[in-house]
Amino acid sequence: MKHIISIHVANTFGAFDRVATMFSAKGFNIHSISIGETEIKDISRMTIVTSGDGQIIDQIVKQLHRLIDTIKVVDLTEHDHLERELALIAVNYKKGQLDEVKNICDIFRGFVVDINNKSVTLEITGPPAKISAALNVLAPFGIKEIARSGTIAIRRGEQVSYPKQEVA
Amino acid sequence: MKPANTMLSGAEIFFECLREEKVEFIFGYPGGATLKIYEKLHDIDFLQHILSRHEQGATHMAEGYAKATGKVGVVLVTSGPGATNTVTGIADAYMDSVPLVVFTGQVPTALIGNDAFQEADIVGITRPITKHNFLVRDVRELAATIKKAFYIASSGRPGPVVVDLPKDMLNSSCMYQPPEDFSIPGYKPNYSGHPNQIKKAASILADARRPLLYVGGGVIMSGATAELRELAEKNNLPITMTLQGLGAFPGQSEQSLGMLGMHGTYVANQAVNNCDVLLALGARFDDRVTGKISAFAPDAYKIHVDIDPTAIDKNIIVDIPIVGDAKRVIAELSRAMHKTPRVNEWWQQLNGWRAECPLSYDMDSSGLKTEYVLETLSDLTRGEAVVVSDVGQHQMWVAQYYKFNHPRSHLSSGGLGTMGFSVPAAIGAAFAVKDRPVISINGDGGFQMNIQELVTARAYKLPIIFIIINNSFLGMVRQWQELFHDEKYSFTDLRDSNPDFVKVARAFGLPAYTTDRADEVEGLLKNALNHRQGPVLLEFKVVKEDMVFPMVPTGASISDMIVKRLNPQRMV
């Protein structure tokens, strides 16, 4: 089963690498991984989409906790949460097809962000399933290139909290 | 002590930090990137630098020292090959939870990434085999980094920490102030177990009819042997120990069933198979212990005490997990036991198994038996020695036949199974252990993997007895070839290629003796034990094709245990 794990890590040299190394060293899957800054200086947030049975997910969460740089690990799948992904999709078009492409883009509440006389680049955000659906519909036009951000996610309602820095 | 708030070079700060940590020994080897430290070392008198002959040797020495004392072992090597040579020792320490701080030199910060001379990305290389590692990129962070490194290495579940020191960090200076409090927000080991879980475990244990304590190295690391004895003796509980757990409970005691697992005793494995409550203490259900997971302690209610949450439910799903330090949790468990379990029938059963199939070997005409050598050693030293085994058949025989009285006395590479561990690890231990004999036991294969450290033992006049159990084979591999690989003895036969070990040892300056006769074993051992002015080597030429039994083949259940060789007369 797919799980979305949110990890707050100290923004230190090699922290990202440590997380990625742990996944490969233990043979866990990574479907997507994304990292960015947070509201707190020197703390980054990683969102990893992974999969496995209960025992594996339990191990993933514990192994992440075990890394010295990780401050908080939450399996968001266990909580009410929002998930989003952003995709930039360059689609080929022939004469007379542009309206149709733009129409599809509108249906998926996307934006046209770039255009030339052969292709048009769309920006579509949403849960990963929505992006996949858009890609399916756009495929017949010929997809030139895709860039996907990977999933990011956040808990609904109550904010994710993490401990204040404490003296060890 | 240098006054606070003075300008110090990185190399000077390095030694100030080591003084703060009360480091007694550095095991190291100099090189270009660490020259500045070695320049300062010249004037340092509060610690001793031990020169190994290979950086892997230095790392195992630090492990031997750490395992024998519980203190942090410190290694200092140069960049590039100096650093990469420590990798096996670091991986070994990681697997066996040995507290090490390994300082590696690095090329100057400006050259990192340029394929500079003797550059290796040791932080990247060691990431999956360290508890944590650091690259120092600002001399002002050096002191705090070293303090964190020692704290991380020695707290919680111990492990190796690498601190990579670019050359310019050692040469440049900054205002030095001893670091006081520091913060690692994501690292808080949990020492006290959950009280309700402990209460629940105590009541399950008190109601058990066939309880078993399964004791691992964690009990030794946490210094919980007195607490373990109290719990076990008050409740008359049987104990089985893992390879790393040997010494946690006296091997001579009637309550000890010996080691469990692949080469464990028949009684220990039968006890696992039939127990109704299994209390795992500082052990991690390693595959060499469990064999086939589904057949391991199938009827038992399982309680698992470990300081590392990842150890719990990793290999075996347990009923009561208790995350905490063994010393505290065992003491709490003892207090929470409201009655003692009724175990008389269970003991009758256990003693039946013990009598049915004790550890045994035949003294026949085929030649000298390793078991005899080790049993004689155990008797002569009354289980008081520090025995450092290497990896292979002799290691399992040590575990079976040496009756350890004390914790931190059986030093062995368990998790990684590193051949070449024993010679340097015994050297590291011998710097700390002065009142008991230190005995390094090797096969003829592994002995050649760090043979260069014999000179280190001689140079420091360490009274170590180096024993080679020479069967002229890579015996454990040969055993598997005979049992499971159609007797294809591929590349395990060293009969034509082994050196004359006595001559080799003498060339290194060690007195050395050899025998293949049982009647000479005791005399040689006695003389060696009396030789306290330096190292000595004893070679025992043993039966070539002996196998270690009992044996539970990989992935098999304990009921598939092979107890004895089917065709004892087989020759290779």
What are the tens digits of pLDDT across the range B347-363?
999 999 999 999 999 88
Q: What is the mean pLDDT of residues B508-517?
A: 98
A168 has pLDDT over 70: no
pLDDT at residue number B569: 46
Number of H helices, E strands in chain B: 22, 20
pLDDT at residue number B364: 82
Q: In B164-173, which positions are buried (b, 16+ CB within 10 angstroms) versus exposed (e)? A: bbbbbbbebe
CB of B122 closer than 8 Å to CB of B92: no
Residues 124-163 of A with CB under 8 A from B: 163
Could you tell me whether strands B132-135 and B173-176 are parallel, antiparallel, or unpaired per DSSP bridges?
unpaired
pLDDT at residue number B548: 95
Considering the candidates B476, B547, B551, B561, report the single residue annotated as catalytic: B476
**Does any CB of chain A come closer than 8 Å to the CB of residue B182?**
yes
Active site residue B419: no
What are the tens digits of pLDDT across the range B255-313?
999 999 999 999 999 999 999 999 999 999 999 999 899 999 999 999 999 999 999 99
What are the tens digits of pLDDT across the range B486-502?
999 999 999 999 999 99
Q: What is the mean pLDDT of residues B541-560?
A: 89
**Does any CB of chain B come closer than 8 Å to the CB of residue A47?**
no
Residues 96-125 of B with CB under 8 A from A: 123-124
Please state, rounded to an integer, the average pLDDT across all residues of chain B: 95
CB of B64 closer than 8 Å to CB of B425: yes
List of residues 6+ apart from B43 with CB closer than 8 A: none
pLDDT at residue number B560: 83
pLDDT at residue number B398: 98
Question: Is A80 exposed, middle or buried, given 0-12, 13-18 or 19+ CB atoms closer than 10 A?
Answer: exposed
Q: Mind telling me how many Å the CA of B229 is from chain A's nearest CA? A: 31
Q: How many Cα atoms sit within 13 Å of B52 on the Cβ side?
A: 33
Residue B211: name the closest of B295, B278, B257 by CA: B278
CB of B303 closer than 8 Å to CB of B204: yes
Q: How far is CA A80 from each of CA A4, A31, A50, A159, rounded to the nearest angstrom?
A: 12, 21, 18, 11
Asked whether the beta carbons of residue A25 and residue B184 sit closer than 8 angstroms, the reply is: no
CB of B525 closer than 8 Å to CB of B538: yes
What are the tens digits of pLDDT across the range A82-109?
999 999 999 999 999 999 999 999 999 9
pLDDT at residue number B45: 95
A22 has pLDDT over 60: yes
pLDDT at residue number B2: 54
Amino acid, res. B356:
E
How far is Cα A128 from Cα B308, in angstroms, rounded to an integer?
35
Amino acid, res. B81:
P
pLDDT at residue number B315: 93
Phi and psi (nearest 5°) for B119?
A: -100, 135
How far is Cα A4 from Cα A156, in angstroms, rounded to an integer?
14
B422 has pLDDT over 90: yes
What are the tens digits of pLDDT across the range B431-457?
999 999 999 999 999 999 999 999 999
Q: What is the mean pLDDT of residues B188-200?
A: 96
Q: Which residues of B touch A66 (CB under 8 A)?
A: 308-310
Amino acid, res. B154:
S
List of residues 6+ apart from B262 with CB closer than 8 A: B288, B289, B291, B551, B552, B554
Residue A73: name the closest of A152, A159, A158, A4 by CA: A4
Q: Which of B131, B185, B309 sits opposite A65 (nearest CB)?
A: B309
pLDDT at residue number B558: 75
Percent of chain B past pLDDT 90, that is, above it, reads: 92
Q: In this structure, what token pair is assigned to residue A159? A: 């904010």
Q: What domains does chain A contain, in order, with CATH numbers?
A: 2-79 (3.30.70.260), 82-152 (3.30.70.1150)
How far is Cα A150 from Cα B419, in angstroms, rounded to an integer?
44
Residue A81: name the closest of A1, A164, A161, A5 by CA: A5
A163 has pLDDT over 70: no
Best of A68, A71, A166, A167 to disrupt the B interface (most B CBs within 10 Å) is A68
**Can you point out the beta strands (E) in B394-546?**
410-411, 438-443, 464-470, 512-515, 536-541
| CA B486 to chain centroid | 33
Active site residue B12: no
CB of B44 closer than 8 Å to CB of B15: yes
Q: Which residues of B touch A62 (CB under 8 A)?
A: 309-310, 312
Phi and psi (nearest 5°) for B175?
A: -70, 130
What are the tens digits of pLDDT across the range B453-474?
999 999 999 999 999 999 999 9
Best of A41, A42, A66, A73 to disrupt the B interface (most B CBs within 10 Å) is A66
B570 has pLDDT over 50: no
Q: In this structure, what token pair is assigned to residue B421? A: 């561990």
pTM: 0.94
A167 has pLDDT over 50: no
How far is Cα B337 from Cα B349, in angstroms, rounded to an integer?
24
Q: What is the mean pLDDT of residues B390-397?
A: 98
Active site residue B285: no
Residue B330: name the closest of B406, B229, B206, B407 by CA: B229
Q: In this structure, what token pair is assigned to residue B153? A: 């290495």
